[in-house]
Amino acid sequence: MEMLFEEEQRKIQTISDRLQRDSNSIAVLVINKDGQEIARSGQTKDLDITSLSSLFAGNVAATSAIAKLLKEEEFGGQFHEGTKYNVNISVVAKRAILAVLFDSNSSIGLVRLRVRRASEEMAKVFEELVNKIQQQQKGSGGGHGPNIAGEITDDDIDKLFGE
Amino acid sequence: MSFINYSSREINCKLVYYGPGLCGKTTNLQYIYEKTNPDAKGKMISLATETERTLFFDFLPLSLGEIRGFKTRFHLYTVPGQVFYEASRRLILKSVDGVVFVADSQEARFEANIESLEDLRGNLVEAGYNVDKMPFVIQYNKRDMPNVMPVEDLRRELNPNNVPDFEAIAVKGDGVFETLKAVAKLVLTELKGQKKG
């Protein structure tokens, strides 16, 4: 299973917030490669984040498969130009997807510049997260992070299904 | 792969509906979508062709309630059933936590069921799953059609490991929620068993 702890989520959130401000974009979404949300920043109230996350992940997965078929290691990123929204999609540390939604108040050049810096910072946090999860797996974490999966009982599952 | 987010206090799991073309995978999701309270579901997304055949996937996010203060969220996906969408099926199976194999009960589709099940097993093995141990249920759909095979025959051919199986008429909703509940329960039981990482 994959996990995200509060400490790393806060760090990613801080980087995401700054990226959104510095790039003058409308919104920033950070999602894992399976399409689960990690952080969101900016004007996201009217966005269907769950659907967008799933579609961005599907898009990145398909693009990555195309790259493999063409013997490319990975395509660097994607840019979609619309009338209201432009979207820049990139992969961070092979683990997460960073989607920046912006309009004419920003530019693709500025977005890519800011994304590069934010990606480097996020990659470090993901590395910390992986180490933490590995420590927990080994049981040497000394209480590193909680473990809800270990606390679930058959009763909890039965109750969820009204049995 | 299930994703536990301690920040938003959510347990996220991925379910995939697999099966031959036109067996009723999308119909299962459509029925679940129609019958689920608005506050427990997100938008259903269908990436389909102009003739409403699934091109990439259908997607439906569902909330099943809370376990120990954690929201349990299931992301339901279907694969495109037509044989030539092999590459897309492999992508969608990535990180799956539980699989529903929707079989078409009609005699004429028996070979298609076998072919799809073999395709599923091959893709799961390639993705590193132990097919015989992962959460897996089978649904024998279209029980209302003429020329359906007896369930015992389908079970013998498609379900040698005796995983939970259900008869269904997905278009009317029969067996749809029973199937979903069974696979969701298996996924959470598996998660409980993993305990760590």
Q: Is B196 on the interface with A (CB under 8 A)?
A: yes
| A72 or A140, which is more confident | A72
- Confidence tier at A150 by pLDDT (50, 70, 90): confident
Instruction: Give the CATH fold of the B3-194 domain.
Output: Rossmann fold (3.40.50)
pLDDT at B192: 87
ipTM: 0.88
Say which of A51, A58, A146 has its CB closest to residue B43: A51
Going from N- to C-terminal start, the domains of chain A cover: 6-160
List CB contacts (< 8 A) between B191 and chain A: 1, 149, 152
Closest CA to A43 of A57, A63, A29, A62: A29
Intra-chain end-to-end CA distance of chain A, in Å? 26
User: Where exactly are the structural domains of chain B?
Assistant: 3-194
- Put simply, whether B123 touches A (Cβ < 8 Å) is no
N residues, chain A: 163
Question: Side chain identity at B41, as an amino acid letter?
Answer: K
CB contact at 8 A, B65 and A160: yes
Rounded distance between C-alpha atoms, residue B6 and residue A5, angstroms: 5
Cβ-based contacts under 8 A for chains A and B: 126
For residue B197, the model assigns a pLDDT of 44
pLDDT value of residue B196: 46
pLDDT for position B135: 97
pLDDT at B181: 95
The interface residues of chain B toward chain A in range 58-117, judged by CB-CB distance below 8 A, are 59, 61, 64-68, 70, 72, 75, 87-88, 90-92, 94-95
Q: Which residues contact B41 (CB under 8 A, 6 or more apart)?
A: B33, B60, B61, B62, B63
Condensed to tens digits (0 to 9), the pLDDT of residues A83-139 reads 999 999 999 999 999 999 999 999 999 999 999 999 999 999 999 999 998 888 777
> pLDDT exceeding 90 applies to what percent of chain A?
76
Fold of A6-160: Beta-Lactamase (3.30.450)
Enclosing H/E stretch for B71:
strand B70-78
Distance from CA of A158 to the nearest CA of B (A): 8
Angstrom distances, CA of residue A63 to CA of A66, A74, B50, B84 = 5, 8, 22, 18
- Chain B contact for A142 (CB, 8 A cutoff): no
Q: Which regions of chain B are under pLDDT 50?
A: 196-197
Q: Please tell me the distance in Å from A123's CA to the nearest CA on chain B.
A: 18
Smallest Cα distance from B82 to chain A, Å: 17
Distance CA A11, CA B171 (A): 47
Residues of A in Cβ contact (< 8 Å) with B66: 160
**Given an 8 Å threshold on Cβ–Cβ distance, is A133 in contact with B197?**
yes
Whole-number percent of chain A with pLDDT over 70: 94
> Measured between alpha carbons, how far is residue B17 from residues A57, B38, B57, B164 in Å?
18, 22, 10, 15
> For residue A140, what pLDDT is reported?
52
| Confidence at residue A21, expressed as pLDDT on a 0 to 100 scale | 98
pLDDT at A71 over 70: yes
- Is A143's pLDDT higher than 60? no
| pLDDT of the residue at B108 | 98
Nearest chain B alpha carbon to A69: B87
B70: enclosing H helix or E strand = strand B70-78
Report whether pLDDT(A52) > 50.
yes
Strands (E), B136-180: 136-141, 165-167
Arithmetic mean of pLDDT over chain A: 92
Whether A10 has a pLDDT exceeding 90, the answer reads yes
pLDDT score recorded for residue B195: 53
d(CA A9, CA B55): 34
Among A9, A33, A34, the residue with its CB nearest the CB of B7 is: A9
Give yes or no for residue A141 having a pLDDT over 80.
no
What is the C-alpha separation between A7 and A156, in angstroms, rounded? Answer: 27
The residue ranges of DSSP E strands in chain A, in sequence order, are 2-4, 27-32, 37-42, 77-81, 86-92, 96-102
Residue A81 in this model has a pLDDT that exceeds 60: yes
Q: Which of A36, A139, A152 sits opposite B67 (nearest CB)?
A: A152
